Amino acid sequence: MNEPQSDLTDWLKEAGRRVVKHDTQAPDPAASAEILSELDELAGRKVRSRADLRAYLKEFAAKARKHHTRIQLIREVVLVVVLLLAYLQYYFINVQLHILSLPSLVVFLSPR
């Protein structure tokens, strides 16, 4: 009965030994400068503080929302046009079927 508990404790000990130790070194200043320069290039302006970054992200989100609403409007207009064309096709086919289903009338004229 003690066997499963000892297996579990052995497994937990082994798992504890295998835990990945995270590197607690300070970030590389060259890498930080590279990231900041690339962010400046993408933003088109200097981003040096959290407030600058937050303002840029808000501006970017607003542009994305505006672009998304424009695309959504285009999709809805296309959908309405397609639905209108489908209805017109149904209507004209229905009219043609009614015309074809009319009984034919054969008239004979007598010669004089």
What pLDDT, in 10s, does the model give residues 22-42? 666 667 777 778 888 888 888
Determine how many CB atoms are found less than 10 A away from the CB of residue 55. Answer: 14
Confidence (pLDDT) at 20: 65
**What average pLDDT does range 6-27 have in this prediction?**
76
Q: Where are the alpha helices (DSSP H) in the chain?
A: 2-17, 29-43, 50-101
Confidence (pLDDT) at 17: 79
Confidence (pLDDT) at 93: 97
The identity of residue 19, as a single letter, is V
Query: Which tokens sit at 68?
Result: 């998304």
The tens digit of pLDDT for each residue in 45-103 reads 887 788 888 888 888 888 888 888 888 999 999 999 999 999 999 999 999 999 999 99
